[in-house]
Structure formats: structure tokens, C-alpha cells
Amino acid sequence: MSSRPAAGGGRWVVVDPARLARWVAGFAERHGPPNTTVGERGLLLTAPDGATAELSPPPGAPVTETVDAFVAAAVASRRIGLLLARKGAVAMGVAEGERLPVHKVDTRYVQGRTAAGGWSQQRFARRRDNQAKAALTDAVDLAVRLLLPQADRLDAVVAGGDRRAVDTVLADRRLAPLAALRADRLLDVPEPRHAVLVAAVAAARAVHVLVRDPDRDPAA
């Protein structure tokens, strides 16, 4: 479980689906039994002391009206397409629950920035841009081969890495079925490698909870 400040106040808490029931029980113990309603982002828990916790369902999971139904939906096995892209590296796969039976990692050299000036700097910049474009072309082709045939069986597509690179890949008209399934969530990942892709499965399945507590209780 991790936590970070939220824009506009409160904090985001990231909870593994398997621990969600325990987390909700702890929230109730600290703040009192909450009322449940459907909020803007998902299931809103409002405690007697004014503390709130809004549970955003994982990509592909429905919004439900009760905690039990929400937990059941969060832990359910779903097929999630993963697309991670950053600089010259791309990693893609299809997760089935916690497993990753389909996956591929590809890298292409993209030159880093140079301190040289003048003509040399312009030449290196053009070369770097061409290398980056070629890497994204390869990423599109990989997505067509690996993810597109799975599109009609996916519950959602979760992207990660560099937003511009991901947007460029999914802008290809052939990948429109995948773009239509894209979740709002963008995973913050380092340069994609197999281990990064494996870790992304848990990040894609996690429940994001927006906690607002008048007392700013750090244990919530």
C-alpha cells in the first residue's frame, strides 16, 4: 500500500484488491461505520466524523453500490492489456488476474542528448528524432501483432511510461479498438523491461482510494 498527496486536498491511497476488505474495515474502526453512496469516481464512504474515502474501481471493473460488491469486483480476475512505452523501449502484455501469460519487451537504441553546439547539435537532434520515430513505429507494429488480436476479449487497456509515446502508439488507426478500451490510469514506470511489466500487473489491478480526513489522521 502506498500514499501520495491529492490535488485539491486529501491523499491517494493505493490498495491491493486482496487487502481492500481489511482496509475498509480499518477505516470504519478509526472513523466509525460509514454510509455508502456512489460518488463521482466510484464508491464513496462517509464516516460519522466527516472522514471520507472514495474507492475508484480498477480498470475494467464496474462501479457498485455496496462495499461487498465493490470488493468482489476488485478481486475478480479480468483480462487487462498493458502497454508501457518510454524512449526506445516498449513492453506489452495481457494480464489474466495476477498472471501475465502474454508478454513481449522490445528495445531500440535512441541516442541521448548531446552537449555539442551548432551544426553538430542539430545533426544529433535529427538523428535522435528519427530513432525515436522508428522506435514508435516498431511499438505500433508490436501492438498490432500482440494486443490487437486480443482486443475483443480485454476488459481494459492500461498504459504506462511516457504519455506522449503512448498517445502516439494508440493514435494509429489500426489500434482504435485498443484505444477505445484505454483506462484513465497512466502507470508511472521506469524504462520498460520484463520485471517492470510484471510489476505493472499489480499496479493496473490496484484500487485507488481518495481519502479526506478533517483530522488528517496519517494512519487512515
CATH number for the domain whose boundaries are 79-204: 3.30.420.60
- pLDDT one-digit tens code per residue, 109-159: 444 554 554 455 665 555 556 555 666 889 999 999 999 999 999 999 999
84: its cell numbers: 508501457
- pLDDT one-digit tens code per residue, 185-220: 999 999 999 999 999 999 999 999 999 987 654 444
Q: Report how far residue 82's alpha carbon sits from residue 124's, in angstroms, rounded to the nearest whole number.
A: 32
Question: 17 near 78, Cβ under 8 Å?
Answer: no
Q: Report how far residue 139's alpha carbon sits from residue 20's, in angstroms, rounded to the nearest whole number.
A: 35
123: its cell numbers: 545533426
Comma-separated ranges of CATH 3.30.420.60 domains in the chain: 79-204
CA angle (138, 139, 145) in 5-degree steps: 90
Read off the pTM: 0.84
* Contacts of 113 by beta carbon, 8 Å cutoff, 6+ apart: 124, 128
Question: 13 near 27, Cβ under 8 Å?
Answer: no
Residue written as grid cell 481518495: 210
